[in-house]
């Protein structure tokens, strides 16, 4: 990268959210066992529709009907990898975008080899934390498990490289989220540390990225809008939450109720 | 059908709910990956007991011990289909009722073929949306994925035909739920559109139908009672919910606290 | 046992909780399909980190990196059993503790045979209800499914026997929890009946036991501390909950906010 990422415009986020609520995309989610319900509820709160179809033959039948596909390797097994490949190939044939969430990629063999295979299949977007984006780009990482040991800014060069290699929009998320297409980049601030004490906020963000990449318009902006919508609802939820338990319903309510003016209050990264 | 469905009596719903809380049925749930936790919590809030036993050999051992079995094909895989068949056969041998939720049946091959096979194994009840009931009866549907593109009333003739073909009570649910045994039918009003913005309300209803079909008495009324209990708790929850997030805990609380007088306030379909 | 179990000290529970929040253990959870999300959120609310890595080869790679491993057989399948064995062997080689939750062991063949195999692999702790501990020790039980038909005190002799046979700390939980190392035992009171109307409180306790057994110090006390932390947060949550729905967020919030003084208010068993 040659320039400091610019702050993403809240107005653009509000326009994209409005588009999403109108188009109500159907997102085919092939995701991990832990976050299925939360992921579905996040999409529903945004007026999108989730569908989890997991048999390989059915996944290939369903992807072309969906508006976007999410591939999350958090609890990958070989049968699931087979279904994911079938879904991705069918989505590509039908011209439907798909998004990769490379959970905990790096040290674990099945998912790491599988993610490298997926990178050659033209993902529309990749969303990971700093450790995951570093690992996926072939650079080193200090991460252990699903939590990132790295700062998101430190992974921005890796995100640029990965975007150029794959053609995907790459979002490296953390305290600040950075989104790049390999040429341009934007920074999305906001959110709250409490969001890391609830399982699935990152995984659900990837599903929301999938919903947003199905929209027309500048895909870099659409992915950044997904990040801003989630961080903004998280901020609002933290104003009333006593802890991570009450955060969950408050977060879903705020996704449901989210208004343009909240998104347009710029947060300086 | 020759007659307009009559409104289901709230008094009958209250009696059935009281019976359910006394008998505390154990429901063996073979259901999809997305709704496992919510389904279990809905049953627990009604004083029923959920159990998910998924290995084929164990499922066959467990079904005869349970009071009813739920088969939900939302995330069907071949190993799961094998376990479901084993559970259904064992339940039938033991004289225990089982309920089918044919999620997204129609266009997807594995589940559609499997559901047709299951129809020959004497389900006690079938609960689906209009698209699913239409597809299962062999009639056409406009549905895409798990959301119905059809009105529940439009599927009532298909529900009658399916009930006659299988001997099951068939519930076609939507803004108004219709329940038929192939001769009689009742209409259950209530609920709230917000319920469709929370994943698993339909799937959990099918589990509640399984709990209610384990009760003695008129099975048509018991299935309708399941529908009314869920729609009534949903209405009450929507009075306090800010959105789909706060709906979830409020819904479970209202199932737990539900009193006869709320059920007896007739809602005109 | 020769002596009546002594009441576990709230002060010791508070010290262990403080240690847990400082050490933030990473718990590799191989658990059932129903409770994955709740288990993860419980660990996160206690500042621990959950990770679910389920492929056999990856599970063996991951266990040595984790601080403890949880094995819960609630929805056991043969592929999952293979992954669990791989994880346990790798944990043992790396000197990492692992905990067994023998859900519904007894009448169901796959899990019962598998749990007997696991007992020979030096679990650090075993957490079950009375029926499960009785069944695992080879004594008789009246349980059906996942709910215990037995009183926890009645299973204390079985818990002693099981602890001596395996070298594990054994916790038999119920209205009062009893924890033994085969020589000593302590009683942990508290909790609330409403906790049995929410799925996964017992399964999540086993994950918390896994987090606590990763701490240095007296393992008997660490396991008892896990029981007391959960029962105390449950009591506090029940003060504000209207029912099982609102209990869930309140419980997670109270785990997050739990202070030493609440733990130190002794409850007489």
ipTM: 0.95
Chains touching C (3+ CB pairs < 8 Å): A, B
Domain contains B268: no
Q: Are B216 and B32 within 8 A, CB to CB?
A: no
Task: Give the pLDDT of residue C269.
Answer: 45
Average pLDDT over residues B72-78: 98
Is pLDDT of C240 > 70?
yes
**DSSP for residue B50:** E
Per residue in B139-166, pLDDT (tens digit) is 665 555 555 556 889 999 999 999 999 9
Q: What value does the mean pLDDT take over residues B239-247?
A: 98
| Mean predicted lDDT score pLDDT of chain C | 94
Distance between CA atoms of C63 and C56, rounded to whole angstroms?
Answer: 11
Q: What is the pLDDT of residue A179?
A: 98
Over residues C176-187, the mean pLDDT reads 97
CATH number of the domain at A143, please. 3.40.1190.20
CB distance from A24 to chain C under 8 Å?
Answer: no
For B215-232, what is each residue's pLDDT tens digit? 999 999 999 999 999 999
C-alpha dihedral, B68 to B74 to B80 to B83, nearest 10°: 20
Is C71 part of any domain? yes
CB-based contact (8 Å) between A76 and chain C?
Answer: yes
Count of structural domains, chain A: 1
Is B55's Cβ below 8 Å from some Cβ in C?
Answer: yes
Q: Is the Cβ of C35 closer than 8 Å to some Cβ of chain B?
A: yes
pLDDT, one tens digit per residue, over C182-199 is: 999 999 998 999 999 999
Q: In the predicted model, is pLDDT for residue B235 greater than 50?
A: yes
Collect all residues of chain A within an 8 Å Cβ-Cβ radius of residue B146: 49, 51
Q: Identify the weakest region by mean pLDDT among B139-143, B162-166, C164-168, C213-217.
A: B139-143
Cβ contact, residue pair B244, A41, below 8 Å: yes
Q: How many CB pairs under 8 A join A and B?
A: 101
Range with lowest mean pLDDT among A236-240, B188-192, C208-212: B188-192
Residue A1, pLDDT > 50, answer: no
Residue A86 has pLDDT above 50, yes or no: yes
List all residues 6 or more positions away from B112 whose beta carbon is below 8 Å from its beta carbon: B105, B106, B135
Cα A91 to Cα A83: distance, rounded to the nearest angstrom: 12
More confident residue, A4 or B21: B21
B245 contact C CB<8A = no
Q: Which two tokens stand for residue C116?
A: 């007997």
Please report the pLDDT score of residue C138 as a whole number: 84
Interacting residues of C153 by C-beta distance below 8 A, sequence separation 6+:
C176, C178
Quick check: is C1 in a domain? Answer: no
Residue C268 inside a domain? The answer is no
* A7 class by beta-carbon count within 10 Å (0-12 exposed, 13-18 middle, 19+ buried): middle
Nearest CB to B34 within list A37, A49, A254: A37
Q: What is the pLDDT of residue A143?
A: 53
Q: A1 lies in a domain?
A: no
**Is B33's Cβ below 8 Å from some Cβ in A?**
yes
> CB of A201 within 8 Å of any CB in chain C?
no
How confident is residue C131, by pLDDT bands cut at 50, 70 and 90?
Answer: very high
Joined together, the tokens standing for residue B256 give: 């737990």
Per CB-CB distance under 8 Å, the chain C contacts of B55 are 76-78, 110-111
Residues of C in contact with A142 (CB under 8 A): none
User: What letter would DSSP give residue A138?
Assistant: T
Please check whether residue B138 lies inside any domain of the structure: yes
How deeply is C120 buried, as exposed, middle or buried, from its count of CB atoms within 10 A (0-12, 13-18, 19+)? exposed
Q: Residue B54 and residue C37: Cβ atoms within 8 Å?
A: no
Do the domain assignments include residue A138? yes
Q: What is the 3-state secondary structure (H, E, C) of C188-204?
A: ECCCCHHHHHCCCHHHH
Position B1 scores a pLDDT of 47
Question: Does B262 map to a domain?
Answer: no
DSSP sequence for chain C: --SPPEEPPHHHHHHHHHHHHHH--EEEEE--TTSHHHHHHHHHHTT-EEE---SHHHHHHHTTTSSEEEEE-TT--HHHHHHHHHHHHHHHHHT--EEEE-TTTTT-HHHHHHHHHHHTT--SEEEEEHHHHHHHTT-----BTTB--S-TGGGHHHHHHHHHHH--EEEEESSSEEEE-SS-EEEE----GGGGGSTTHHHHHHHHHHHHHTSSS-HHHHHHHHHHHHHHHHHHHHHH-SSHHHHHHHHHHHHHH--HHHHHS----
A243–C251 CB contact, under 8 Å: no
Report pTM: 0.96
pLDDT in tens, B252-264: 999 999 999 999 9
pLDDT, tens digit (0-9, with 9 covering 90-100), for B88-132 = 999 999 999 999 999 999 989 999 999 999 999 999 999 999 999
- Give the range of the structural domain holding residue C54, as residue numbers without chain letter: 6-262
Question: What confidence category does residue C266 fall into, taking pLDDT thresholds of 50, 70 and 90?
Answer: low
pLDDT over threshold 90, residue A268: no
């Amino acid at each position: 990268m040659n320039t400091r990422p610019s702050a993403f415009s809240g107005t653009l986020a509000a326009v994209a959210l409005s588009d999403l609520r109108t188009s109500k995309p159907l997102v085919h989610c092939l995701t991990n066992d832990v976050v299925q319900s939360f992921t579905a509820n996040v999409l529903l709160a945004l007026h999108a529709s989730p569908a989890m179809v997991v048999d390989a033959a059915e996944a290939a039948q369903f992807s072309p009907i969906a508006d976007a596909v999410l591939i999350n390797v958090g609890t990958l097994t070989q049968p699931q990898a087979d279904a994911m490949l079938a879904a991705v190939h069918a989505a590509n044939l039908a011209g439907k975008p798909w998004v990769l969430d490379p959970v905990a990629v790096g040290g674990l063999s099945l998912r790491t080899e599988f993610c490298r295979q997926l990178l050659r299949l033209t993902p529309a977007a990749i969303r990971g934390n700093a450790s995951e984006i570093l690992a996926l780009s072939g650079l080193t990482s200090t991460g252990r498990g699903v939590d990132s040991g790295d700062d998101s800014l430190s992974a921005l060069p890796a995100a640029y490289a990965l975007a150029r290699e794959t053609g995907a929009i790459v979002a490296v998320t953390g305290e600040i989220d950075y989104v790049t297409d390999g040429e341009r980049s934007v920074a999305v601030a906001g959110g709250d540390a409490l969001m890391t004490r609830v399982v699935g906020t990152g995984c659900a963000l990837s599903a929301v990225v999938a919903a947003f990449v199905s929209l027309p318009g500048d895909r870099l902006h659409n992915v950044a809008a997904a990040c801003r919508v989630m961080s903004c609802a998280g901020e609002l939820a933290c104003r009333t939450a006593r802890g991570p338990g009450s955060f969950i319903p408050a977060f879903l309510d705020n996704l449901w109720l989210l208004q343009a003016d909240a998104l347009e209050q710029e947060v300086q990264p």
